[in-house]
Amino acid sequence: MKVVYRISIILNILFAGYILVRGGELLMREYLLSAGEVALEQNTRQPESTQTSAVQEHVTCDTIYTISEYDLSTGRQEVYQELLPAAIIGMNRQQLVEWLDDYNLSVPLEDLEDGFLSMELLSFSPQEIRVRKRVESIEEPQPEPAKQPAQLMQAEVVQTVSGNEGIYGCILAQEGLLTVYDGMRRHVILYTDISLFDLPETIQQEILEGKNVASEQELYNLLESYSS
């Protein structure tokens, strides 16, 4: 009887141990499953939160539009603010980048005349948009300053003198009579009583256009020939 009693005690102890081990395994598995479900739920909620935050970041009517303009030809950089383009209101960052790419491909003629090269996004937030604008200024030729009256008169005198070098005088007709002017055709240096209409037609034409003479001797020789 004692042997049977001892065997039953040993079996009860082994069974109790098995129950404890099995129960521990079940508790551990339940704990791990619970922890995994919590982690999965957190990972699922985080992208939703990020996506919600990203959707909220869009351009509004109150967004400040700042341009950092860089001139490649002069190296000048200027930062200023402009009126927000109505076309970009409501856009998110990606949509704005695509809009700028399309703008660079189809630049308005007015911007091209101002030397526009390209434009890119520097920073984006609902409060402020900052873009970099590259331009290359086109230098327009400066008009020559207008000549003053004194300068015009001086130029005319120089031109007249250079065009009349070596001319002593000029024979013209005044009231049908031959009259001799100086080389500039401004002052009368000799009046004659020789009639224009008594001369051959070819000489009349020369006198009407102005017959230049190089010296005083040539002048008197011509007058003598006209009067003979």
Same domain as 175, residue 115: no
- From 120, 135, 150, give the residue that closes a domain: 135
Is residue 53 very low, low, confident or very high in pLDDT (cuts 50, 70, 90)? very low
Q: What is the pLDDT of residue 128?
A: 94
Q: What is the pLDDT of residue 56?
A: 64
Same domain as 178, residue 130: no
**Per-residue pLDDT tens for 16-50?**
666 666 666 666 666 666 666 656 566 655 555 45
Q: What is the pLDDT of residue 27?
A: 63
Question: Which residue shows structure tokens 């005083």?
Answer: 216
Q: What is the pLDDT of residue 185?
A: 84
- Which one is predicted more confidently, 49 or 89? 89
In a domain, 10, yes or no: no
Per-residue pLDDT at 215 exceeds 70: yes
Q: What is the pLDDT of residue 23?
A: 60
Same domain as 69, residue 124: yes
Same domain as 129, residue 71: yes
As a whole number of Å, the end-to-end CA separation of the chain is: 190
Is residue 176 very low, low, confident or very high in pLDDT (cuts 50, 70, 90)? confident
Q: What is the pLDDT of residue 94?
A: 93
In a domain, 202, yes or no: yes
In a domain, 56, yes or no: no
Percent of the chain with pLDDT over 90: 23
Same domain as 75, residue 118: yes
In a domain, 13, yes or no: no
How many whole angstroms separate alpha carbon 79 and alpha carbon 93? 21
- From 135, 156, 183, give the residue that closes a domain: 135
Q: What is the pLDDT of residue 228?
A: 77
Same domain as 177, residue 128: no
Question: Using CA of residue 115, residue 121, residue 127, residue 128, what is the dihedral sign?
Answer: negative
In a domain, 87, yes or no: yes
* Eight-state DSSP code of residue 87: G
**Per-residue pLDDT tens for 98-116?**
999 999 998 888 888 888 9
In a domain, 47, yes or no: no
Tell me what the mean pLDDT of segment 1-9 comes to. 61
Same domain as 69, residue 128: yes
In a domain, 188, yes or no: yes
**Strand boundaries in the chain, DSSP class E:** 64-71, 77-82, 116-124, 128-135, 169-174, 177-182, 188-195, 211-213
Count how many domains the chain has: 2
Among 30-44, 49-63, 175-189, which range has the highest average pLDDT?
Answer: 175-189
- From 115, 135, 155, give the residue that closes a domain: 135
In a domain, 46, yes or no: no
Same domain as 172, residue 126: no
Q: Which domain holds residue 190?
A: 167-227
Is residue 158 very low, low, confident or very high in pLDDT (cuts 50, 70, 90)? very low
Q: What is the pLDDT of residue 157?
A: 40
**Is the model's pTM score more than 0.75?**
no
Is residue 167 very low, low, confident or very high in pLDDT (cuts 50, 70, 90)? confident
